[in-house]
Every structure is written in structure tokens, then in C-alpha cells.
């Protein structure tokens, strides 16, 4: 391509200020300064801009502007020369300009023909070239950087060649799996793996304190050149590199795209193409940016689930994301119809909405093995869509392959906006299958598509059909396909994301000019049809609105508040209510509260208590609406008779239940003590900088009804179950890799296995439903504005419809009610039914109840029967080894500490190597450590930090997957936050809100109360809920036998399966129950319930389901049939209940059928 050497832009297109703005130069430019002429000197490194007009050009700003221009354009020198001024450097111009005359035809006259667009494009091109060069130079400079030891100049050997110990080798590779561990000696052990894509190798490095700084250059993803010894590592039992010399090195095998004008990829799959694509979207856009590709289309098979992360990545890297799909086009909706691949791109907002509707239709109405799309639907929603003919499975390629006539193919092609051609090797399987005779035939097919496109005036675009990013990533897809049982292909199609140059070379058989058109020009033409700045999910927040929800909530809250706190309300209560209502209503949460209230009320009316959960308990409004049992006010006394109110705000008591009992000074009534002292902002943040949900724990038995009720209240068309995306995760990925290697008889080091596993993880496998999240669409909006919809796992039998996107992707825009299932409320209902006591009658300062969190005194059993010295077996959230160990160490005395332990025991990095150490080392007492997320926010605010920052930092700490940045750390230091506090924050990976800890502590305490005072009922309820992990054979075993069983299970340690671990946990409780005098009655065909343990003569009767092998169906069938009439024989029961041979066998083996004859001759006649 020729370079301009002298340009005279048209006057209206050549403002200097305009140029500066385009180049991002912020400096002042005198207005109306017009570039008269641009002289480009040979080597293109030096320009002279001849300008006229504008303010006088002072030397000072001119020099500075020249520098900026040079930097922005990537030139060594730019001169701004006023017109009429004498040439500053006449010799240079005179000497060099004639030389350029040879390579360019341009002159002042020719320059007039160049439009500003072209002119700017040229400038941009030069700027980019310069940038590339600078980047290359920077890389070159960096690559020489020695991290440790000496520079390594030798050529490395490839990692696959390393099979034995070696004195000294030189290798190179990309760092992954980086781990840093502090040794007791004070040294740091740095371990990481490197890969050069032929194989991988572990590297082990001991760092002295003084080396740490240098070693910080070793990061995930950096390329290193290393020299050292390969040794057999005793710990890992594998070869391992002990490097002496390490230096940064340029990555090997990196593909560059040096084309002056870049192609646009219009056919690319991500990991959302189920069990097929292995490219990571973020990496795709990073690569696109590195190659300076301006846009990339995301076209997964039938789904658009990559859009949200694609959008984020595209934005981050300044690349345009084209939102598309590779759909399955059918002409009729019947199951036999042949489907054709088709690329559908959204050109604008309407198109995107149409695309979401099409995706929904294809999943809900036309799904048959694949989400198929009838042509009629596509035609109906055609507006805003750009259609491409896709790959060899598209109808155009098929038609051409079948040798259909021009007229026929052109008729088909009329449906599309552009035609696609792909590299020959994408289709070379046709050759292998004998469907075409030669490579030339394949070329002819592509040529024919090009000709048809040209005749019809439609763009013809060369696309990759990328399923992975780089050629070397093919191994991931190979394993993925092998894992599904596909036969391995000899020469798999090279489905990687191609550079412009690779594509130009591939299509060179079309001729240079045509190749350039299909690769560059037409791909850009199609990209230009697509609007910039499309967003997969709109900005903004769309809360549902029920009529008068704000007024209703406000009235309800005030009414209930007055019932408890009297009229007028105490100031503290009134202020809190006012503040909350303003925020809740102001931020659009009133309707959500109202619905939550109605749901709770309905459940309670139906006899099912509802448990509190989540951050919503931080709000007094929730408490007063009945959504939460947690009262977030400061600890206080309240007389429910005369409303005498007294708040304790001096910090002497943590939570209300810990206040000493007291009678009302006015009327002598025992006062209620309440208030868990929780800030409202944990729910909504400050000024609405957070979108929370409302969480509710319904009984599992009631959850489905609660979902139905929500649909009724909002209207089914406005309620959608949040969808989830099931991916190939660690274990399955590992299984695939193992299987692949085993089948091929290959042996790989764990470093290489790790690399392969990492390449596979995250690939979409299936879709599912959120545990309880219902997304509420406001009236008057369409779900397609936000997300497509589908059935979970595409099960058309399901009566649940989920969002296509996972909740996280629409979390900022739409509200969610989390209607979860939990055993707490089921326990509560069972216990209320059995004991006749409701939870509000349970005193929160019962010493015997509190005692089980500290020891065994109130249970009166020995530690060996209680799994240790703490009495919380069977108490939710406090019953694991880990938490009991924590209780043993902390011995909580009161409710506040119970809540603290609840917080500390849930999340990684909170207790071990954190709070525990701080307490042990005497740095702070337990109550001063970080116990819940609210603590962090309040502490930072007390230190003087602005509330918004305090809240933001808290959110970073509390959420899985985020931590505080170096800048935040700096900010904390600025407010005298102690070092230990900062370090503690950095170790926290997840943390409860106090409201949740309080709600769960309450629930646990209520159950503990039953465990202490109503053991038979407690165990009845507990085992009913854990019947799955109960083995009916235990009923007749002695405590010693059960202990032996438990020991056997415990000895399995890590080798125990999930099921076995569950069984072991229940077994511990069984042993404890026995020790407390509980006796079990065996399963009985007539007396046993289906799934509940029931008290019978002071003992517990096992349910049918507790027999292993008797499932729910069988148990229910038995229950039903026995009510009709007694069973007369084994044959009778088998027949009437429809039991399988297996069920009969397990029942017989258990002894249930002993009194029954085998057959029943009597009734035969």
C-alpha cells in the first residue's frame, strides 16, 4: 500500500485542533489553526505540518505540541511550520523530498483527492505501526531482564524432551499455577509450573528475604527463560526444575498480526458452546486487542450466554463486541427437518431484542436435540439482524457442495446479508470422507461462493469458525471430544482464531485482491453494519412496582412498630424507621418487601414458619414486616405492656438477649430484651451503591408453593427462575484428561495435567436452575430486554422457565427474591407440632441451652459419645468437627459470642491463620477480631474513613473472588487502620453479614433448646431431615457396634465418599442419642411413616425410606396400599405396590417381610 508523502487536506477537514482531539492530545491548540500541508519525510519518522491562521504560534506551546504530536503519531519529529515562514531545514527538504518522489505519486495536487477519512486512517495506521514497534522494543528490552543469577543466552530445549534428571538444562515457558508459601525458617517457597505448550514442568524455588523483590516479577502468565537442574522431587515424586538463573523472555510461538488493515472475526465460539468450544472470552478479546482487531463476533452454538462476559472483556480491551449466535435453521418445526447452521448478528438494539426472542423460542418451543429456529420465526423477527451463511453445515455451502444451479443457490443466498467462506482445512474432512475429490474441489466451492456473493453484491467474508484461540490449544478440544466418546480424528480442523495475515495466505488462491476483499474489506464491511456500543443487558435498574407498595409498607411498618414500641415511637426507633423507609422506598425496594411480607404471611398461615436469612435482616423494616426475626436496633429493653423503652448504647452489652432480665420499672412486667445492633447499610449500602436481594428460608416442603405464590402475586409472566450454567469443572475436567491420557497410554507430569485441566474447565455442559432465585420483571417491560429464557437443562417437560443468562449477569438491573429451601423451618414446624412450644416462647438466656455450645454438662453424656467435649452434634452450622473445635477453643459465654463464632466459622481464611492466630498471639481479644462484614464497615468509619469507601472496601473483602487493592490498603493506612487489621482483611475470602449470623445463631439456639429439653422430639425431627443418611440397620445395633462403624468410616479419612461422610455425621448423632437414652424401633411395614421418624412409646420408629434401596416411590406405594388393606404375602405387596425385585430383596433382608408367606395360595381361588 502506498504511503502519502504530501497531503493537502481540504480546508474544512484539516483543523489542527481536530487532529489533536482525534489523537487524544489534551493540550490547548489555538482555534482555527488549519493544516495546510503535511510533508512526510522518508522513513516516515518525521513530519512537517504547514499551518495557517489561528492565534500566533508561540514557541513555547509549539514545541510542546510538536512533542505531543510526535509521541501520539509515533514519529521522531514533528514540526509545525507557519505558512509563509521560511523552511527551517531547507537542505533536508531539498535533499530528501526528491527521493520520496519515486515511491509515491502524491503531490499537492494529488493530495486534494484524499478525503479526511482516508487521511485520518493513514495517520492512525502510522500511529499504530509506531506503537507496534515501540511495544516490540519494550518487549525486547524486557526480555533481557535477569531476575535471578545470570543471563541465559542458550537455546532452550523443549519441555517434552525432559524425561530424566539433568545437571543443567535451559528451558523456557509460560508461568502458571503460581504458589508462594512462607516457610518456618522465614524463607519463601515459590512453586510454579511452566509450559512451552509441548509439555509442562514444575519449578521450585527457595527465596531468601532479599530475593523476594526480584522474584515478584514472576507472575501468572509471564514467560521465563530458566537454567537449572532437573531433580526428582521427593514430595511430589516427580521431576522438578531447581533454577539457578531466571530471566524474562519473549513468549515463544506468539502469533502477530502485522497487516496494515486488520480483518474482523465473524465466527467464533467460546466455552459457552456446550462441550465443544474451549476459547476463553476474556482471552479472545485480549488477543483481539493485541492484534489491533477492531471487532470480534461471538457466535456460540445456539446460545448467547457468553455475551455478558464478552461485553466486559471487549470494553476492557477497547474492542467492539459483535453479539451473535450460530443458530440451527429449519424450514419446518418437525423433528425430521434438516437443520442448517446460520450466523445471526445483532446489528442494533432492536436486533438484540429480536435475537433474545429467537433464542428463547428456539429453546422453549423448537428445541429438539438443539435449539432450532424455524425460518418463519427468523423472518418475522428479521429487523435489526444481519445473517451470515455459516460453515459447511450452512445451507449455502451445502447447496454448492451438492452442485445446485446458480439460480438455486442465488435464491438461497438472497436470505443472507453476507456469505461465509472458511479455510480449506475446516472442510478437508469432506475430502477424507470422499465427498469431494481434491483440495482443488474445495477451493472451487469457496470460489463459487465468492462469485455468487459478488454477483448478488453481498459481502463474502472469510471466517475462522474458531473453537479455540491458538493452534496449540487444539489439544483441549481434542480431549473434550474424546471425553464424550467421539472417535479421534486424524487431522482435526485447525479451528483457531486467525490473524489477518494467516487468512490472507489461506485465501491467496483467490488472487491477492479478492483475498484482501474477503479477509479484510468485507469482514470490516459487515462489522460496520453493526452498531457500536451495543450492550447485552441495558444500563439502569428496573425494580418491580406494585400499586401503593410504598404506602402499604410504610403503614405496615409503623403499625407494627407502634404495637411493640408504643405511640409516639421512641426517637431511636422512629429515626431508624424513617431513614430506612426513605432509602428502601427511594431505591425501589418497597414492592419487593411487600411481596416478601405476603409470602411469609401465607406460609405462616399455611402452618410453615419461615426462617430469616441474608443481609435483609439488617433492616428494621424487614423485622417489622415479618420478613426477618432479627431486630437490628441497638440492644434494648422494651415493656410490651406499657412500652417503656431503654436502649443500651454504651457498648456494655453486645446484643439484646445478653441483657440481664429486668422487670419494667413502670408496670413491673418482665421486659423483652432484643436488638442485635446491626447497621442498615449492610443491606443497601450508602446512597444505593448496592443491589441486594431479599433472602427467605422456607421449609423445603413448602418451597415450591412459595414459588407458585410469588408467580400468583406478581403474575407468572413477570417471574422467572434464575438460570445457572453448569460447566465442566475441576473433577470432570481431570477425569477427561485422565481418560484421554490412559487411553493413549501416555504419561504426563502433574504440571502438564494441571495445564490440560485448566484448559478444559469452564466449558459449558448444561444449564440448570438457581437454588431459589426468582427474578422479578417489572410490569410493562419485556424479559427480552434483559435476557432470553429457556427450560432448565432444556427439559421441555419442566414447568419451570429460567433466564438464559445467569443471575450474576443481570444482577444490577433486575431484582431477585431468593426463596430458598432450608431444613430450619421444617425442623421448627416438626418441633412445634411435637412439643407444642413455639419459638417465641423459648428464652434466649437459658443456661442449659447455652451450655451445649461450651460443653456437655447439660447433656450429661461422656465426650466419647458426643464426638468430643462440645454438645452441638446435630445443631445446624455448629455441628461439624471444625466448628466444634472452634467452640472448644473459644467456649462462648453469651449470645453475642455465639453470633461471633457463627460469623467466624463460615468462610475460608477467617479463623485459621487469621483470627485464631491474632487471639493466640495476644494481638487482640476475640471480640475485637473481624467477626462479620458489618464489623469492617463500622471499624473503618470509626477510623474516620468516608462511609462510601468503608462500604466499598467491606464489599471487596466480603465477596468471594475479590480483595482490596494496593490503593485501598494505602487508604486504610491513611486512616490509621492497624497493619494486623489490613492483613486480616486480605485473608478473608467470604464473610457473613451480622444479620445472617444472628438469624442462624437464633435458629441453632432454638434447636439446641429442643435438644436439651426435648431430646426424643429433637432426634425425631433431626433424623427425619437426615433420613437419607440414616441406615436402618443401625436400629438394632449396640452403641459399641456403632462406635466401631464410625471408627471404620473415620479411618477412611479423605478417601471417604460424600455419602460416607454424610453417614458418619448422622452416625455420630445416633451414638449421642443412644447415650442419652433414645431407643430405635425397626422399620415396620405398617407402623413406619414414609420419611419421618416418629416417637412411639418413648422410642423412635424408623421410616420406610431409611432402608437403603427403598426409595420415595416405593415407600409411598407401601403407605398407600397398606391403608387399603393389609398385605397377605410377599407377592401381594410386590404386586400392589409395584415394587421391584430389588426393593423386595432389601426389605426381606432387613426383616420387614418375615411374617409374610412367599405367595398367597388362599386368595388365588
- Binding region for ligand DGT (CB under 6 A): 613-615, 683, 692-693, 695, 818, 906, 990, 992-993, 996
Among the listed residues 374, 614, 632, 656, the single contact to Mg ion using CB under 5 A:
614
In the numeric block, which cell numbers belong to residue 258? Answer: 502485522
Given 695, 809, 934, 1132, the residue binding Mg ion (CB under 5 A): 695
The CA R_g of the chain, rounded to the nearest whole Å, is 36
Cα–Cα dist 990/574, whole Å: 33
805 binds, among Zn ion, Mg ion, ligand DGT, none (CB under 5 to 8 A by kind): none
Q: For residues 666 and 838, which CB has a smaller minimum distance to Zn ion in the complex? A: 666
Left (φ > 0), alpha (ψ -120 to 50) or beta: where does 383 sit? beta
Min CB(1146)–DNA separation in Å: 8
Within residues 583-642, the interface with Zn ion by CB under 5 A covers 639, 641-642
Based on CB atoms, which residue is closest to Mg ion, 818 or 897? 818
Identify the bridge partners of residue 173 per DSSP, sorted by sequence position: 224
Q: Which is nearer to ligand DGT, 625 or 1147 (CB)?
A: 625
Q: Is the dihedral of CA 1030, 1033, 1038, 1044 positive or negative?
A: negative
Grid coordinates given for 4: 502519502
Give the shortest CB-568-to-Zn ion separation in angstroms.
16
Options 203, 584, 621, 664; binder of Zn ion; rule CB under 5 A: 664
Q: Which is nearer to ligand DGT, 328 or 589 (CB)?
A: 589
Give whichever of 494 and 900 is closer to DNA, judged by the CB atom.
Answer: 900
Residue the block writes with cell 406478581:
714
Calpha distance 178→194 (Å, rounded): 9
Helix (H) or strand (E) holding 623: helix 620-625
Smaller CB distance to Zn ion: residue 641 or 744? 641
> Residue 177 binds what, of Mg ion, DNA, ligand DGT, none (CB under 5 to 8 Å, by partner type)?
none
CA nearest neighbour of 877 among 1037, 1007, 1048: 1007
Q: Which residues pair with 330 in a beta bridge?
A: 374
Q: How many CA atoms lie within 13 A of 793 on its CB side?
A: 8
486 grid coordinates: 467421539
199 binds, among ligand DGT, Zn ion, Mg ion, none (CB under 5 to 8 A by kind): none
Smallest gap from residue 1115 Cβ to DNA (A): 7
C-alpha cell at 652: 456494655
Dihedral, 180, 182, 183, 186 alpha carbons, nearest 10: 130
Q: Give the single-character DSSP code of 520.
A: I
Which partner from the list Zn ion, DNA, Mg ion, none does 642 bind, CB cut-off 5 to 8 Å by kind? Zn ion
Is residue 908 within 8 A of residue 989, CB to CB? The reply is: yes
724 binds, among Zn ion, ligand DGT, DNA, none (CB under 5 to 8 A by kind): DNA
Q: How far is the CB of 731 from DNA (least distance, A)?
A: 3
- Residue span binding Mg ion (CB under 5 A) among the ranges 246-254, 479-487, 691-699, 1030-1038: 691-699
* Partner that binds at residue 615, options ligand DGT, Zn ion, DNA, none, CB closer than 5 to 8 Å by kind: ligand DGT
* Contact assessment for residue 541 and residue 642, using Cβ atoms and an 8 Å cutoff: no
Residue closer to DNA by CB (options 141, 1149) is 1149
Binds 667, which of Mg ion, DNA, Zn ion, none (CB < 5 to 8 A, cut-off by type)?
A: Zn ion
Stretch that binds Mg ion, among 202-210, 232-240, 320-328, 811-819 (CB under 5 A): 811-819
Residue 504 or 819 having the CB closest to ligand DGT:
819
- Residue window 342-381: x/- pattern of binding to Zn ion, with contact defined by CB under 5 A: ----------------------------------------
Phi then psi dihedrals of residue 147, to 5 deg: -90, -45
Instruction: Give min distance, CB of 818 to DNA, in A.
Output: 4
Exposure string of 535-560, with b = 16+ CB inside 10 Å and e = fewer, is: ebbeeeebbbebeebbebbbebbbeb
533 in Cβ contact with 314 (< 8 Å): no
* DSSP one-letter string for 1108-1140: TT--HHHHHHHHHHHHHS---SHHHHHHHHT--
Of 292 and 739, the one with the shorter C-beta distance to DNA is 739
Q: Which is nearer to DNA, 765 or 1122 (CB)?
A: 765
Which grid cell is 588?
425501589
* Smallest distance from DNA to CB 162, Å: 30
Contact yes or no for 36/52 (Cβ under 8 A)? yes
Q: Does 818 bind Mg ion (CB under 5 A)?
A: yes
Q: What phi and psi values does residue 426 have, to the nearest 5 degrees? A: -60, -30
For the bound state, the minimum distance from the C-beta of residue 695 to Mg ion, rounded and expressed in Å, comes to 4
Q: For residue 424, give the 3-state DSSP assignment.
A: helix
User: 311 CB contacts (<8 Å, ≥6 apart)?
Assistant: 321, 535, 536, 537
Region for 329 from its dihedrals, namely left if φ exceeds 0, alpha if ψ lies in -120 to 50, beta otherwise? beta
Residue 448 vs 996, nearer CB to Mg ion: 996
Mark out the alpha helices in 45-162 (DSSP H runs): 59-73, 90-103, 108-111, 116-143
* Residue number with CB closer to ligand DGT (465 or 693): 693
Distance CA 506, CA 1009 (A): 76
Report which DSSP code applies to 276: T
Q: Residue 691 Cβ, how far from ligand DGT at the closest point, in Å? A: 8
Nearer to ligand DGT, 261 or 989 (CB): 989
We find the least distance from the C-beta atom of residue 615 to ligand DGT, in angstroms, to be 3
Instruction: Compare residues 564 and 729 and give the one whose CB is closer to DNA.
Output: 729
Of the candidates 1123, 1134, 1124, 1141, the one whose C-alpha atom is nearest the C-alpha of residue 1156 is 1134
Q: Is 930 helix (H, G, I), strand (E, B) or coil?
A: coil
Judge whether 325 and 267 are in contact, CB under 8 Å.
no
Per-residue CA distances from 1057 to 636, 1061, 1065, 1071 (Å)? 48, 6, 12, 21
- The yes or no reply on residue 550 touching Mg ion (CB under 5 A) is no
Which CB sits closer to DNA, 173 or 788? 788
Stretch that binds Zn ion, among 281-289, 426-434, 664-672, 869-877 (CB under 5 A): 664-672
Residue 352 or 664 with smaller CB distance to Zn ion = 664
133 interface partner picked from ligand DGT, Zn ion, Mg ion, none, CB below 5 to 8 A per type: none
CB of 190 to ligand DGT, least distance (A): 30
Residue 666 sits in the site that holds Zn ion (CB under 5 A): yes
Rounded Cα distance, 260 and 275, in Å: 36
- Supply the DSSP symbol for 785: G
Q: Which does residue 729 touch among Zn ion, DNA, Mg ion, none (CB within 5 to 8 A, set by kind)?
A: DNA
Rounded to the nearest whole angstrom, what is the least distance from the CB of residue 908 to DNA in the complex? 5
In this chain, which stretch among 396-404, 558-566, 590-598, 608-616 interacts with Mg ion, using CB under 5 A? 608-616
DSSP H/E element including 595: helix 590-605
Least gap, CB of 773 to DNA (angstroms): 5
User: Nearest distance from residue 997's CB to DNA, in Å?
Assistant: 11
CB of 204 to ligand DGT, least distance (A): 33
As measured in angstroms, the least distance from the Cβ of 364 to DNA is 14
φ, ψ of residue 334 to 5 degrees: the values are: -80, 160
Nearer residue to ligand DGT within complex by CB, 678 or 1063 = 678
Angle at the Cα of 805 (from 799 to 809), degrees rounded to 5?
135
993 binds, among DNA, ligand DGT, Mg ion, none (CB under 5 to 8 A by kind): ligand DGT
| Residue 24 touches which member of ligand DGT, Mg ion, DNA, none, C-beta under 5-8 Å by kind | none
768 binds, among Mg ion, DNA, ligand DGT, none (CB under 5 to 8 A by kind): DNA
* Footprint on this chain of Mg ion (rule: CB under 5 A): 614-615, 693, 695, 818
* Footprint on this chain of Zn ion (rule: CB under 5 A): 639, 641-642, 644, 664, 666-667, 669
Amino acid at each position: 500500500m502506498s504511503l502519502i508523502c504530501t497531503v493537502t487536506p481540504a480546508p474544512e477537514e484539516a483543523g489542527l485542533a481536530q487532529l489533536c482531539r482525534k489523537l487524544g492530545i489534551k493540550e490547548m491548540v489555538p482555534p482555527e489553526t488549519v493544516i495546510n500541508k503535511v510533508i512526510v519525510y522518508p522513513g516516515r519518522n518525521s513530519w512537517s505540518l504547514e499551518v495557517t491562521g489561528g492565534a500566533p504560534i508561540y514557541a513555547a506551546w509549539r514545541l510542546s505540541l510538536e512533542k505531543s504530536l510526535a509521541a501520539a503519531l509515533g514519529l521522531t519529529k514533528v514540526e509545525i511550520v507557519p505558512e509563509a515562514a521560511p523552511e527551517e531545514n531547507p537542505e533536508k527538504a531539498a535533499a530528501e523530498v526528491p527521493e520520496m518522489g519515486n515511491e509515491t505519486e502524491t503531490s499537492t495536487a494529488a493530495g486534494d483527492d484524499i478525503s479526511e477519512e482516508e487521511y485520518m486512517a493513514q495517520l492512525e495506521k502510522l500511529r499504530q505501526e509506531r506503537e507496534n514497534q515501540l511495544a516490540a522494543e519494550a518487549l525486547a528490552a524486557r526480555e533481557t531482564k535477569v531476575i535471578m543469577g545470570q543471563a541465559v543466552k542458550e537455546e532452550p530445549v523443549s519441555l517434552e524432551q525432559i524425561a530424566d534428571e539433568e545437571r543443567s538444562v535451559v528451558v523456557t515457558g509460560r508461568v502458571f499455577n503460581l504458589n508462594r508459601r512462607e516457610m518456618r525458617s522465614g524463607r519463601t517457597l515459590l512453586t510454579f509450573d511452566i509450559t512451552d505448550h509441548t509439555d509442562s514442568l514444575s519449578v521450585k524455588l527457595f527465596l531468601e528475604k532479599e530475593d523476594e523483590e526480584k522474584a515478584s516479577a514472576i507472575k501468572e502468565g509471564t514467560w521465563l527463560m530458566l537454567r537449572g537442574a532437573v531433580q526428582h522431587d521427593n514430595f511430589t515424586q516427580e521431576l522438578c526444575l531447581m533454577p539457578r538463573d531466571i530471566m524474562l523472555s519473549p513468549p515463544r510461538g506468539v502469533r502477530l498480526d502485522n497487516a496494515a488493515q486488520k480483518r474482523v472475526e465473524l465466527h467464533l465460539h467460546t466455552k459457552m458452546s456446550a462441550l465443544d468450544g474451549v476459547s476463553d472470552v476474556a482471552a479472545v478479546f485480549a488477543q483481539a486487542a493485541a492484534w489491533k482487531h477492531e471487532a470480534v463476533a461471538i457466535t456460540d452454538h445456539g446460545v448467547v450466554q457468553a455475551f455478558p462476559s464478552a461485553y466486559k472483556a471487549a470494553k476492557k480491551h477497547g474492542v467492539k463486541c459483535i453479539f451473535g449466535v450460530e443458530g440451527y435453521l429449519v424450514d419446518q418445526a418437525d423433528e425430521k427437518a434438516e437443520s442448517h447452521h446460520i450466523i445471526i448478528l445483532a446489528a442494533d438494539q432492536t436486533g438484540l431484542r429480536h435475537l433474545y426472542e429467537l433464542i428463547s423460542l428456539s429453546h422453549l418451543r423448537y428445541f429438539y436435540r438443539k435449539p432450532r429456529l424455524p425460518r418463519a420465526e427468523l423472518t418475522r423477527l428479521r429487523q435489526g439482524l444481519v445473517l451470515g451463511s455459516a460453515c459447511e453445515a450452512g445451507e449455502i455451502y451445502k447447496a454448492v457442495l451438492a452442485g445446485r444451479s446458480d439460480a438455486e443457490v442465488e435464491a438461497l443466498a438472497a436470505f443472507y446479508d453476507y456469505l461465509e467462506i472458511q479455510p480449506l482445512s475446516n472442510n478437508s474432512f469432506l475430502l477424507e470422507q470422499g465427498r469431494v475429490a481434491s483440495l482443488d474441489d474445495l477451493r472451487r466451492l469457496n470460489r463459487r461462493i465468492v462469485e455468487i456473493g459478488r454477483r448478488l453484491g453481498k459481502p463474502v467474508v472469510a471466517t475462522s469458525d474458531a473453537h479455540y484461540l491458538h493452534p496449540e490449544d487444539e489439544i483441549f478440544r481434542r480431549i473434550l471430544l474424546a471425553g464424550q466418546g467421539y472417535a479421534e480424528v486424524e487431522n482435526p480442523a485447525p479451528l483457531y482464531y486467525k490473524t489477518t495475515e494467516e487468512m490472507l495466505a489461506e485465501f491467496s488462491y483467490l488472487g491477492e485482491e479478492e483475498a484482501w476483499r474477503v479477509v479484510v474489506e468485507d469482514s470490516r464491511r459487515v462489522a460496520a453494519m453493526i452498531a457500536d456500543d451495543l450492550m447485552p443487558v441495558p444500563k439502569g435498574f428496573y425494580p418491580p412496582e406494585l400499586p401503593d407498595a410504598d404506602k402499604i409498607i410504610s403503614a405496615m411498618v409503623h403499625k407494627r412498630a407502634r404495637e411493640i414500641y408504643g405511640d409516639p415511637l421512641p426517637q431511636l426507633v422512629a429515626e431508624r424507621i424513617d431513614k430506612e423507609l426513605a432509602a428502601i422506598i427511594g431505591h425501589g425496594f418497597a414492592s419487593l418487601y411487600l411481596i416478601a411480607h405476603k409470602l411469609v404471611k401465607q406460609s405462616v398461615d399455611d402452618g410453615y414458619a419461615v426462617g430469616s436469612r441474608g443481609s435483609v435482616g439488617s433492616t428494621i423494616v424487614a423485622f417489622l414486616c415479618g420478613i426477618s426475626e432479627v431486630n437490628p436496633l441497638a440492644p434494648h429493653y422494651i415493656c410490651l405492656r406499657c412500652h417503656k423503652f431503654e436502649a443500651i448504647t454504651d457498648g456494655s452489652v453486645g446484643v439484646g438477649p445478653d441483657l440481664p432480665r429486668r422487670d419494667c420499672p413502670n408496670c413491673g412486667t418482665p421486659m423483652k430484651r432484643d436488638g442485635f445492633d446491626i447497621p442498615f447499610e449492610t443491606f443497601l449500602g450508602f446512597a444505593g451503591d448496592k443491589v441486594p436481594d431479599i433472602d427467605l428460608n422456607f421449609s423445603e416442603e413448602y418451597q415450591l408453593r412459595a414459588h407458585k405464590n410469588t408467580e400468583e402475586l406478581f403474575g407468572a409472566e413477570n417471574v422467572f427462575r434464575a438460570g445457572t450454567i453448569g460447566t465442566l469443572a475441576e473433577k470432570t475436567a481431570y477425569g477427561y484428561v485422565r481418560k484421554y491420557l490412559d487411553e493413549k497410554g501416555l504419561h504426563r507430569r502433574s504440571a502438564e495435567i494441571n495445564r490440560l485441566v485448566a484448559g478444559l474447565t469452564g466449558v459449558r455442559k448444561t444449564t440448570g436452575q438457581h437454588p431459589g432465585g426468582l427474578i422479578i420483571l417489572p410490569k410493562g417491560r419485556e424479559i427480552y430486554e434483559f435476557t432470553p429464557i429457556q427450560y432448565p437443562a432444556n427439559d421441555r417437560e419442566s414447568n419451570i422457565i429460567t433466564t438464559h443468562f445467569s443471575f450474576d449477569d443481570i444482577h444490577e438491573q433486575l431484582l431477585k427474591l431468593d426463596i430458598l429451601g432450608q431444613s430450619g423451618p421444617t425442623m421448627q414446624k416438626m418441633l412445634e407440632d411435637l412439643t407444642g412450644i413455639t419459638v417465641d416462647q423459648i428464652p434466649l438466656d437459658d443456661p442449659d441451652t447455652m451450655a451445649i455450645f461450651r460443653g456437655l454438662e447439660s447433656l450429661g453424656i461422656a465426650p466419647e459419645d458426643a464426638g468430643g467435649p462440645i454438645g452441638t452434634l446435630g445443631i445446624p452450622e455448629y455441628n461439624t468437627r471444625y466448628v466444634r473445635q472452634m467452640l472448644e477453643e473459644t467456649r462462648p459465654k453469651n449470645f453475642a459470642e455465639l453470633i461471633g463464632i457463627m460469623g467466624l466459622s463460615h468462610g475460608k481464611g477467617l479463623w485459621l491463620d487469621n483470627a485464631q492466630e491474632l487471639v493466640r498471639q495476644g494481638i487482640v481479644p476475640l471480640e475485637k477480631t473481624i467477626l462479620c462484614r458489618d464489623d469492617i464497615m463500622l471499624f473503618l468509619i470509626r477510623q474516620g474513613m468516608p462511609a462510601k469507601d468503608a462500604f466499598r472496601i467491606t464489599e471487596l473483602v466480603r465477596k468471594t473472588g475479590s480483595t482490596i487493592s494496593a490503593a485501598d490498603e494505602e487508604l486504610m493506612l491513611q486512616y490509621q487502620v492497624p497493619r494486623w487489621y489490613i492483613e486480616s482483611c486480605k485473608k478473608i475470602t467470604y464473610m457473613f453479614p451480622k444479620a445472617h449470623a444472628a438469624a442462624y445463631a437464633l435458629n441453632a439456639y432454638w434447636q439446641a433448646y429442643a435438644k436439651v429439653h426435648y431430646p426424643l422430639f429433637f432426634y425425631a425431627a433431626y433424623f427425619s431431615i437426615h433420613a437419607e443418611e440414616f441406615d436402618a440397620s443401625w436400629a438394632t445395633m449396640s452403641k459399641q457396634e456403632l462406635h466401631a462403624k464410625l471408627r471404620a468410616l473415620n479411618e477412611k479419612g479423605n478417601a471417604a465418599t460424600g455419602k460416607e461422610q454424610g453417614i458418619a455425621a448422622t452416625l455420630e448423632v445416633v451414638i449421642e442419642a443412644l447415650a442419652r437414652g433414645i431407643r430405635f424401633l425397626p422399620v415396620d411395614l405398617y407402623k413406619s411413616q414414609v420419611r419421618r421418624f416418629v416417637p412411639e412409646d418413648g422410642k423412635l420408629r424408623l421410616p420406610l425410606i431409611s432402608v437403603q434401596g427403598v426409595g420415595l416411590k416405593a415407600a409411598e406405594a407401601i403407605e398407600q396400599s397398606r391403608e387399603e388393606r393389609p398385605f397377605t404375602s410377599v407377592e401381594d405387596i410386590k404386586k400392589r405396590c409395584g415394587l421391584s425385585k430389588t426393593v423386595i430383596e432389601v426389605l426381606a433382608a432387613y426383616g420387614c417381610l418375615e411374617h409374610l408367606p412367599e405367595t398367597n395360595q388362599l386368595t388365588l381361588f
